[in-house]
Amino acid sequence: MEKAASNRFDVDSELRESLLPECRLKFGEVWEDPSGAHKVGCIDAADSSMVSGFMSGKKAKLALHDPPYNLVVFDRLGKADFINWCEKWIRNTSSVMDEDSSLYVWLGADQNDGFQPLPDFMIMMRGLDEFKPRSFITMRNQRGYGTQKNWMSVRQELLYYIKGNPDFHVQYTDIPKILRGYYKNIGGKLTENIERGKSENIRPGNVWVDIQQVFYKMRENVPGCYAQKPLKSSDRIVAASSNQGDIVIDFFAHSGSTMLSCERMGRKCFTADIDPIFCEISIRRLERFRKTGLAGWQNEDPFKREC
Ligand SMILES: C[S@@+](CC[C@H](N)C(=O)[O-])C[C@H]1O[C@@H](n2cnc3c(N)ncnc32)[C@H](O)[C@@H]1O
């Protein structure tokens, strides 16, 4: 299979000009799902009035955010400004979260640049009393960088915070338990770990090694989206930290992975992106899933006109 020749929708200005007229939303507008389940807003996550208008008084049980943290953003903003910007959308998120709710944030740690921005972000979060840190998760990527004179960087960092006392549902991987012989005395009876466990598979714990990074041969791939997270990761988070019918927010939609997980698991997703092209992609991905059951375009162009 040939790799799709699609360019990045965010940086190819000629491509952007040709796609913008095909986008339903302009900056400031909101798409309401005709089925009443989800919403997509073309808004700035750092703008408090846009966020409160978008949520219209509704509160989320789960916030799952994947902000841009690449070098382009650093170059443009500078590190301190980047953290100030993060604090704005975190405060906006907090204001629309339920009193018992969960917050997950994907964030990188660049080993070529002081491990930025992760440590500064963590310190900023310490200053916000309403959030309690719960877990520091690492997901292992298959591809990495810096392989010749250093350990290949293959990690994706995921921070998990809570407000109040939200539900948490234990998740399992597809990896069978193989380590036996860990005995414990339960009520006077010596039991083995496999016997004690609720599943024959292991839990993901806080190091996720069982999730395939999205690439062009995968059905869920969305060509043109440069930072797509695997559905398996958003499925896991949504399943662990929300219940049927809950509102889940993701203010950095991009390819719309969180909304698709919510669709598949009966949650309501209020998702947003500042870029009309990514809002359109997210809506199209949901519509395509509903029509065909397919989770992405694999190697096809999401903007290809139907004949
Ligand atoms: C890293 S990507 C998110 C990837 C997403 N989790 C997925 O699986 O497809 C970040 C997205 O944030 C959007 N973005 C950047 N600044 C924003 C802002 N101020 N408000 C809302 N969205 C923003 C970008 O357009 C980009 O699509």
203's CB contacts (< 8 A; 6+ apart) are 170, 171, 172, 173
Residue 5 in domain: no
Q: What CATH code is carried by the domain that includes residue 250?
A: 3.40.50.150
pLDDT of residue 307: 46
pLDDT of residue 293: 98
Query: Is ligand 1 within 6 A of the CB of residue 121?
Result: no
Give domain status of residue 7, yes or no: no
Is 299 inside any structural domain?
A: no
Q: How far is the CA of 178 from the centre of ligand 1 (A)?
A: 39
pLDDT at site 192: 76
3-state secondary structure of 131: coil
* Ligand 1 lined by 254 (C-beta under 6 Å): yes
* DSSP helix/strand/coil, 125: helix
Q: Does a structural domain hold residue 307? A: no
| Residue owning the nearest CA to atom 27 of ligand 1 | 254
pLDDT tens series, the chain, 307 aa = 444 446 788 888 888 999 999 999 999 999 999 999 999 999 999 999 999 999 999 999 999 999 997 555 556 667 889 999 999 999 999 999 999 999 999 999 988 888 989 999 999 999 999 999 999 999 999 887 777 889 988 999 999 999 999 999 999 999 998 877 777 888 888 887 777 778 889 999 999 999 999 999 999 999 999 899 999 999 999 999 999 999 999 999 999 999 999 999 999 999 999 999 999 999 999 999 999 999 999 999 999 865 4
Residue 218 lies in a domain: yes
Pocket of ligand 1 contains residue 38 by CB under 6 Å: no
Cβ of 221 less than 6 Å from ligand 1: no
pLDDT, residue 289, reads 98
- At 75 the pLDDT is 62
Query: Ligand 1 pocket test: which of 274, 277, 284 has the largest number of ligand atoms within 8 Å of its C-beta?
Result: 274
Q: Is residue 297 part of a domain?
A: no
List CB contacts of 68: < 8 A, sequence separation 6 or more. Answer: 227, 252
pLDDT at 305: 66
Ligand 1 lined by 278 (C-beta under 6 Å): yes
Nearest CA to ligand 1 atom 25: 275
Domain of residue 87: give its range: 13-292
- What domain count does the chain have? 1
Give CA–CA dist 80/100, Å, rounded: 30
d(CA 276, CA 21): 10
